[in-house]
Amino acid sequence: MNALPALGTFLDPLALAIVGGGTLAGTVLRSASGDLARGAAALGVLPRRRFDAEPLLAQVSALGRIARRHGVIALDRSKIEDPDIAAAVAAIVDGAGPREVETLLEQRRCARVERQRGAWEVWSGAAELAPAMGMVGTLLGLVGMFAAMKDPQAIGGAMAVALLATLYGALLANLVLLPVAVRLKRRARHEAQERLRLQPALAALAGIEPGTGRIKEIAA
């Protein structure tokens, strides 16, 4: 029974350079600079836990108790880290009503979804490019092989580039780039759904009547 080829057999610097360099170059050329930066920064998000609205809902509840006791103007002194809640509270302190707060939060949620879409589309676009770059490497290897038909020693190297470039493109796309894109897309969808839970709570906070602690009726 023949032994498996050594690992070094599957390593070819030229094929790696064609597939990796071509994929990187194509991704840079087809993506906006902001999306490229967000796509790279998104890698740091993957090891973290998914977004959970429960702690933020508890904070909004605590802000509601403060508003009932001291009025919404007292919220101006609250320390708020989440940017959406901070923006909503700032609007509430400035006199925004429930409808205005809901509109503000929806606009911010849509803007965040678009930014996250740009990030994961960078990775999905790279996943599309990698097999194509593998095919480019294969064609280059075949050209080199036919050009060196009179030199048997050169044929082996050219054929290795041709075969390994296709392998590298398939592995890079399906085991690295596409999984990253899918995970980023899933996280973005989950966060968007979780942030929807914040809108009713913050709209209710905007509806607290000064000095009474009661929730105002929201006009239909």
Residue 145 tokens, joined: 């092989």
Phi-psi sector, 71: left (phi>0), alpha (psi -120 to 50), beta: left
Q: Got the DSSP string for 122-136?
A: HHHHHHHHHHHHHHH
Q: What residue type is 99 in one-letter code? A: R
List, in order, residues 6 or more apart from 55 with CB less than 8 Å away. Answer: none
Angle at CA of residue 86, ends 189 and 112, nearest 5°: 25
**Predicted local distance difference test score (pLDDT) of residue 209:** 64
Percent of the chain with pLDDT over 90: 70
Whether 41 shows a pLDDT value over 90: the answer reads yes
Residue 117 tokens, joined: 């879409």
| 70 alpha-carbon distance from chain centroid | 40
Please write the tens of the pLDDT for every residue from 115-174.
999 999 999 999 999 999 999 999 998 888 888 777 777 777 788 888 999 999 999 999
Whether 32 shows a pLDDT value over 70: the answer reads yes
